Structure 1
Amino acid sequence: MIEVREVTKHYGDKEVLKKVSFEIKENEIFALLGPNGAGKTTILECMEGLRKYDNGEIKLMGLDPDEVVKKGVVGIQLQSSSLPNHICAKDAMNLFCLWNGVAPRYDLLDTFELEEIDRKPYKAMSTGQKRKLHLALALAHDPKILFLDEPTAGLDVEARVSLHKEIRKLKQKGVTIILASHDMAEVEALCDRVAILVEGRIRKIASPSDIVLDVRRETIIKLRLDKELAKIPFSHVQLQEKTNGYVHFTTDNLLQGLMELLQYIKTNHYQLLDLSIDKPSLEERYIEIAKEKNAK
């Protein structure tokens, strides 16, 4: 669906994109991650047709970004978006649909729970309401490709859950989604694959689960029992510490380690009061990659 081939971009003497290459499949939710200044916004804007690049090639559905935007198959929700203070949701929808040559999509106002405030001026809307409106407008012309830059920034928990639900529905409808976010939990929950951009170069592209496999620490199993655990050697877990009534074990094989502990607890008639598993996270691996300054 999208091909980025050795794209470079300079701002004056500073090279912000250094032969960036990746592909995005049809109907995929693909995330771009990177620290501030990594070039994330620049490559997004090049893909969206909002910024020119120096060298390389970008194709969306086989076309240049400018051509795709003109054909109306791309929807964009920018991180910093704004509308006139006094425009209301219904009038904004009318305006965007007129521009795109389609019938007004009032159903999207209903989908994003904006129908009750369709006459509320933009300046009086909450952050969540504004973000929902921007997404509704980005979808008004039924795009095949959707760019979302920090879509849930500033939203409360309920609004985030609602927006995640709608993003999943869009994937089910066949929309290809490119997501930029600093929220690692959001990326893990939504995305099929992730590209990590550091200092203008792609350092890693894989599924969130595959990236997490490279985290340089073991899984931690935390148990709380009704009595002190006898000190015996285990084969697949290692006792680390006892903190606030919990016993901490590490393991490099979660299934075998957990089975070994649970079998021991059952055989020796312990009562299991609580159990939690602290697995390596995407955020941990992202931080490791971002700090690898000398990586090629």
Structure 2
Amino acid sequence: MIDAHGLRKTYRTKGRRGSAPADVEAVRGVDLAVRDGEIFGVLGPNGAGKTTTIRMLATLVVPTGGTATVAGHDLLTAPERVRENIGYVGQAGGVDENNGARAGLMLAARVNGLSPRDAAARTEEMLAAFDLTGLADRPARTLSGGQKRRVALALGLVHRPPLLFLDEPTTGLDPQNRANLWDQIRGLREQGTSVLLSTHYLDEADALCDRLAIIDHGVVVAEGTPAELKREVAADVVTLRTDDGSAAERALAGLPYVREIRPGEPLRVYVDDGEAALPRLLGRLAESGVALTGVALERATLDDVFLHRTGRSLRDAA
């Protein structure tokens, strides 16, 4: 559905107060391959290049370099054919605050080439699918954030595109509305729609995405299924709290069952089998005279993957 190679985008900034104009590389060579009927995530902190990447693939921003085919059409030579086969829901949603969902959907359907009869039928179908029929004629400004997001999704899908772009789809939503929107997105996959979404929420990427790419500073630093990426780091993470992290690190360094040690507070020790390794870790620390104030065993997360690839936590970067 998407095959992109070396996508780049450089912006030219204006000089201010005597400073010279400068080039800013927002995206520095991104490769992406999105398969038919999958949810593919682009995960990264704010400013990583996620939105710029999606806007390039959706023909809203012209790439500085690179090539891509989207829904079977060349991004640079046939952008109009790309647009016919995609839906796009940006962070702002694109919902007209002064119109109701029914009017907005009718307009979107007609703009995308549906006949008046087909547009009316499709509008009613989308209102029912997203539980908006009872709200269809209320001005969007009177709707909640979650309701507006459902309207935005319906607008992006009214012309039945095989590929939908979602840029930070749940930003600003409360937990219940986020969970409801996740269900809607999963439903799209079940209907055969391919979805490319950007997010900086670790739990969202883990729960929704069949595969994902982690982007930082405009480049892809890791790609795969959430499970594959986490296995790359380790199966388990032991977090240790101690007043002497350096001593603990020295005591555990070189043990055969320890993959990696990340210094800090707490100390993070990556191991293949946490349940088997934990008693041995504690025994080694006790032998070395290292006192602990806290210990926890947990599965590796996508944040651990980001930390492993970039040297810093995604939560901190965000």
**Is this a same-fold pair by TM over 0.5?**
yes
| TM-score grouping bracket, smaller chain normalisation | 0.7 to 0.9
1:5 to partner: Cα distance? 1.1
Give 1:281 shift. Answer: 1.1
The amino acid across from 1:143 in the alignment is P
Is the deviation greater in 212-221 or in 48-57? 212-221
Alignment of 1:1-296 (within 5 A): 1-12=1-12, 13-65=23-75, 66-70=79-83, 72-102=84-114, 103-104=119-120, 105=122, 106-215=124-233, 218-219=236-237, 252-253=272-273, 278-291=298-311
What runs of 5+ residues in structure 2 fail to find an aligned partner?
Answer: 13-22, 240-256, 258-269, 279-295, 314-318
> Which deviates further from its counterpart, 112-121 or 158-167?
158-167
The AA in structure 1 aligned to 2:157 is L
For 2:231, the aligned partner's letter is L
Question: Can you list the C-alpha shifts for 1:232-273, whole angstroms capped at 9, x where unaligned?
Answer: xxxx9xxxxxxxxxxxxx963258679xxxxxxxxxxxxxxx
CA drift at 1:53:
0.8
Q: How many Å separate the matches in 2 of 1:55 and 1:285?
A: 28
Q: Deviations over 1:186-213 (max 9, x none)?
A: 1111111111111121111111111112
The structure with more helix, counted as a fraction of residues: 2
Q: Is the 8 A contact 1:35 1:290 kept in 2?
A: no
Deviations 1:122-149 (A, max 9, x none): 1111111111100011010111001011
Report if aligned partners of 2:238, 2:297 keep a CA contact under 8 Å in 1.
yes
Would you say the 8 A contact 1:34–1:290 is kept in 2?
no
Q: Kindly indicate whether the alpha-carbon contact (under 8 Å) linking 2:234 and 2:271 is maintained by their aligned counterparts in 1.
A: no
Unaligned runs of 5+ in 1: 222-235, 237-249, 259-275
Write the letter of the residue equivalent to 1:32.
Answer: V
Structure 2 residue identity aligned to 1:7: L
How far apart in 2 are the matches of 1:35 and 1:217?
24
Give the RMSD, CA atoms, in angstroms.
Answer: 2.6
Could you tell me the percent identity over the aligned residues?
33
Larger CA deviation: 157-166 vs 94-103: 157-166
Task: Tell me the matched-pair count.
Answer: 249
The structure-2 alpha-carbon separation of the partners of 1:89 and 1:206, relative to structure 1 and needing over 3 Å to count, comes to same
Kindly indicate whether the alpha-carbon contact (under 8 Å) linking 1:29 and 1:191 is maintained by their aligned counterparts in 2.
yes
The answer on whether the counterparts of 1:68 and 1:74 sit within 8 Å (CA) in structure 2 is: no
Give the SS at the match of 2:5: strand
Change (3 A) 1:56 1:284: same
TM, length-normalised to structure 1: 0.76
Query: Which aligned runs of 4 or more in structure 1 are off by greater than 6 angstroms?
Result: 255-258
After superposition, the C-alpha distances for 1:81-128 in whole angstroms (9 at most, x for unaligned) are 343332011111111111112223212212222111111111111111
TM-score (ref. length: structure 2): 0.71
**What is aligned with 2:288?**
none
